[in-house]
Chain A
Amino acid sequence: MSSHEEHGHILPEAEYKAGVKDVGKWIIILGVVTVVEVLFAIAWMEWFKLPKRPLNIILIFMSLFKAVSIMAVFMHVKHEKKGFILTIAIPFLFLIWAIIAFLWEGNCWRHYQELINYF
């Protein structure tokens, strides 16, 4: 499992079975997380009618968990070299600032619009 550069190298039966089992476990986890997400969203909004912001934070973290587990297990990142993981992960750090900046910007546009409508 350490290197997949070796083509034509067949994994031993036990390792293959462990891999199949691991992936099977994760597909169930992903399915459960999706169900919980949807039930949570519906229950929060439709049944209890609670404020949306805390729900959004919970949902964002659940989606992040889903994204990381898809990358780690299905896209095989957790078995790659550490340097390669960093090469993939570091560009995503830019997005953190981008999200903050653009939401900030959108908020600012809204205030401008209110200002224009006022006059």
Chain B
Amino acid sequence: MATATAHNDESTTLWNGGGSPFKVSYGKIMIWYFLINDTFTFASFLLAYGAIRYTNLDIWPKSSEVFSSVPIPFAGIDKLEHLPLVFVSIMTFILIFSSWTMVRAVQEGHQMNKYGVIKWLIPTIMGGLAFLSCQYLEWSHLIEEGMSLTYCPFGKLGNGDPVSFGALFFLITGFHGLHVLFGVILNSWLCYETANGTFQKRGHYEMVEKIGLFWHFVDLVWVYVFLCFYLL
């Protein structure tokens, strides 16, 4: 199939053997390997979380007590209390939704439909921004309740133990939030370049696929962050 590529000058030398390994382009394979690499970074964080949680199993705070309110400003009442997991479910839905709009953008890219790509990239960017805003609200609510990198007001002893809970929560969700931020920046750049017609001129929308892979990965990691921090 490699010989049928639109890149006439590359079709014979593709990876220098006349074809690509696994019939996947170089850029896509490398983004996959980067994602596997990143998976292990996140996995090491979550493993540290697991090990430390097991060490302090008896005093570990209950997730339904820590994340029990919906910190929406201007909602009439200050905070909607005693609604465990509701806010974080909203955040999960936002990410899954934006993952879907990204797939749609990739599909439109396959059809070489420039306006379709832009149309589906915009809700993806909005979803990313909405997620970051929700994370801001949640963080500021928790900080207001007294949680910090070295103090956890929710432990069973009430003396700030386990101290590592705050550090683990803020750093792991923060690292994930940083990925979302990069995703939003990449998607915005992608949207701009698509509107400029760069990919139309290039003859393929592979960049949409590559950034799409990164965006789905961010969603994938959130599934596990959601599981470890909020559900278990």
Interface residue ranges, A against B (CB under 8 Å): 2-11, 16, 19-20, 23-24, 27, 30-31, 34-35, 37-38, 41-42, 45-46, 56, 59-60, 63, 66-67, 70-71, 73-76, 80-81, 83-84, 87-88, 91-92, 95, 98-99, 102-103, 105-107, 109-110, 113
A41 to chain B: closest residue by CB: B231
* Interface contact A5-B25, CB-CB below 8 Å: yes
Q: Total number of A-B contacts with CB less than 8 angstroms?
A: 158
Kindly list chain A residues whose C-beta atoms are within 8 Å of the C-beta of B104: 20, 23
Task: Report the minimal beta-carbon distance from A47 to chain B, rounded to whole angstroms.
Answer: 11
* Interface contact A8-B112, CB-CB below 8 Å: yes
* Interface contact B204-A7, CB-CB below 8 Å: yes
- Residues 18-64 of B at the A interface (beta carbon under 8 Å): 20-25, 28-29, 32, 36, 39-40, 43, 47-48, 50-57, 62, 64
* Chain B residues within 8 Å of chain A by Cβ, number: 62
**Which 4 pairs, one residue from A and one from B, show the smallest C-beta to C-beta distance?**
A106-B54, A7-B204, A106-B51, A84-B22
* Interface contact B23-A5, CB-CB below 8 Å: yes
B92 in the interface, Cβ–Cβ < 8 Å?
yes
Interface residue ranges, B against A (CB under 8 Å): 1-2, 4-7, 20-25, 28-29, 32, 36, 39-40, 43, 47-48, 50-57, 62, 64, 84-85, 89, 92-93, 96-97, 99-100, 102-104, 107, 110-112, 203-204, 206, 209, 213, 216-217, 219-220, 223-224, 226-227, 231-232
CA distance A4 to B102 in the complex (A): 17
Given contacts A8-B203, A38-B89, A80-B22, 15 further A-B contacts (CB under 8 A): A5-B23, A8-B112, A24-B100, A34-B96, A35-B89, A37-B231, A67-B224, A74-B99, A75-B216, A84-B22, A91-B40, A92-B39, A99-B47, A103-B51, A105-B51
* Interface contact A5-B5, CB-CB below 8 Å: yes
* Interface contact B84-A42, CB-CB below 8 Å: yes
* Interface contact A6-B6, CB-CB below 8 Å: yes
* Interface contact B24-A34, CB-CB below 8 Å: no
CB pairs A–B below 8 angstroms (11 shown): A4-B110, A10-B111, A10-B112, A20-B104, A70-B223, A75-B217, A88-B36, A95-B40, A99-B50, A105-B54, A110-B56
CA distance A19 to B105 in the complex (A): 12
When A5-B20, A59-B232, A75-B213 are in contact, do A42 and B85 touch as well, CB less than 8 Å? yes
* Interface contact A71-B220, CB-CB below 8 Å: yes
